Amino acid sequence: MTANPAADIAGAIRRGEKTASGVLEEHLARVQAREPEIHAFNLVLEENARDTAAQIDAAVARGVDPGPLAGVPIALKDNLCTRGVPTTCSSRMLAGWRPPYDATVVARVTAAGAVAIGKTNLDEFAMGSSTENSAFGPTRNPLDPSRVPGGSSGGSAAAVAAGFAPLALGSDTGGSIRQPAALCGVVGTKPTYGVVSRYGLVAFASSLDQIGPFARSVGDAALLFDVIAGHDPADSTSLAGAPPVASAALEHGVDGLRVGLVTELVGAEGLSGEVVAGTRAAAEALASAGAKVEEVSVPATVYGLSAYYLIAPAEASSNLSRYDGVRYGHRATGAADITDMYIASRSEGFGPEVKRRIMLGTYALSAGYYDAYYGQAQKVRTLIIRDFEVAYQSFDVLLSPTAPGTAFPLGAKTADPLLMYLNDVCTIPSNLAGHPAMSVPWGAGADGLPLGVQVLAPALGETVMFQVAATLERLAPAAGRKVES
């Protein structure tokens, strides 16, 4: 069975077999060795982390349990507010901004004993699929630095894949946790919308954004999920009641579970043959383990990409309107009047992809076009939700590819936004529906780079989703083993 490095570290520190300070220095040494090449971080929190680790060691010495993540280094995506620490969203618009408070998830992992080791690079304001849109330069895939790590949470995925931290937090609006997890060969989870608080997450598209874990194993991802999940009165969209327990059924296997292989996602545009073959092999492995596996149609998912790229930019244009150089964000100097100052501040502060999405969203919301574009996209979203509901009447979980292929070379898709957007063709439907989904490594492509398979579940279905993911992890081809297409 795959090791759970985060759980192992926390257990050893709580038993006094290791120190948090010693574990931290091991990880900082890895950061020092490879971070100049990888650029997973916008900021490494060396001194803050050392202070936190020392406090954890002192607590253990006093006989106090620091929590389930005792001494585990964790990387935080740089759109999660961290009190007193620069939180930039990888944008010039927020360069140097220091929030006066912690995001709820940051407070929860800290209370559980984790040690924040750094703020990770991302596509600016989480808009992208390759972490090439950062104002501070791209992140590189640790498995092949000539290639992208995926995005927008590429820095978090790269940090875990490179061994800089056993755990990381990212945000997922249309696949921004799952797609980089697949490309970097780690586990990435998007929870049910509302299960994890968004308070302190700098908003991209508020009806789609969700925070979730990266880890090297399903067990560690479950451990982190169980720490960050739960109601938060500071978030008006937070679900009341006890959250699902991800770790509850990891060892239960899949005997008797009903698994649906989504026809439209296996046949989605742009998928490589080896991705499709890998997903079908994963379905066959689950069937061999006792699951009842059949293909299932979720027809409206074929419109997911189109609907998403109307809804998400529309919400982004609204959320980012606050960055005007007066209330928030970078302010240009030397403008003749306030109108010129607004224009100059936003022109200087935002990068090309953010500007593109703001313009798309503003157009979709404009008078005369709202019903034809934004309103129509919301109707498609409803169709997707209904089609998933029908599928989940017959299946406990669904299965699909995560990304269209393995990690692609840096610069390969930057000149073609539509080709870049296709990276999220399999992940977007779960965001539109508000359902949980996660990517699990599954062998490698012909280039030796990782492939991922996606497990989807109905709302609040994290327990069974993690149960199936844990079985896939146990059955997966050895790391680096090629999947025959």
Distances (CA, A) of 250 to 185, 261, 277, 471: 20, 21, 26, 8
- 204, pLDDT greater than 70: yes
**Has 152 been annotated as catalytic?**
yes
pLDDT at 485: 45
* Contact predicate 13/23, CB 8 Å: yes
Q: What is the pLDDT of residues 182-194, one digit of tens each?
A: 999 999 999 999 9
Q: What is the pLDDT of residues 351-367, one digit of tens each?
A: 999 999 999 999 999 98
| pLDDT surpasses 60 at 177 | yes
Confidence of residue 1 (pLDDT cuts 50, 70, 90): very low
Bridge-based pairing of strands 73-77 and 115-120 is parallel
Out of 21, 129, 153, 176, the active site residue is 176
Confidence of residue 480 (pLDDT cuts 50, 70, 90): low
Whether 2 has a pLDDT exceeding 60, the answer reads no
Phi, psi of 47, deg, nearest 5: -70, -45
Sign of CA dihedral 454, 460, 463, 464: negative
Average pLDDT over residues 469-473: 98
User: What pLDDT, on the 0 to 100 scale, is given for residue 351?
Assistant: 97
- Judge contact between 222 and 244, C-beta under 8 A: no
| From 77, 119, 190, 413, the catalytic residue | 77
Look-up of token digits 């069937």:
287
Segment 437-462 shows an average pLDDT of 98
Residues 11-26 as b or e (16 or more Cβ within 10 Å = b): ebbbeeebbbbebbee
Residue 267: exposure state from Cβ atoms within 10 A (0-12, 13-18, ≥19): exposed
First to last CA, the chain: 26
Is residue 233 a contact partner of residue 188, using CB atoms and an 8 Å limit? no
Mean pLDDT in the chain? 96
Choice among 91, 130, 134, 152 that is catalytic: 152
Give the bridge partners for 171, in sequence order: 211
Name the phi and psi angles at 400, rounded to 5.
-160, 170
User: What does the pLDDT look like over 373-393, one tens digit per residue?
Assistant: 999 999 999 999 999 999 999
Tens digit of pLDDT for each residue in 149-167? 999 999 999 999 999 999 9
Task: Identify the structural domains of the chain with CATH numbers, from first to last.
Answer: 5-246+457-467 (3.90.1300.10)
pTM above threshold 0.85 = yes
Burial of residue 363, with CB atoms counted within 10 A of its CB: 0-12 exposed, 13-18 middle, 19 or more buried: middle
Q: Which residue has the tokens 């596996």?
A: 293
pLDDT in tens, 34-88: 999 999 999 999 999 999 999 999 999 999 999 999 999 999 999 999 999 999 9
The yes-or-no answer on residue 77 being catalytic is yes
pLDDT at 214: 98
| CA distance linking residue 12 with residue 15, whole number of Å | 5
pLDDT given at position 481? 54
3-state percent helix, strand, coil for the chain, nearest multiple of 5: 45, 15, 45
Is 297 noted as a catalytic residue in this protein? no
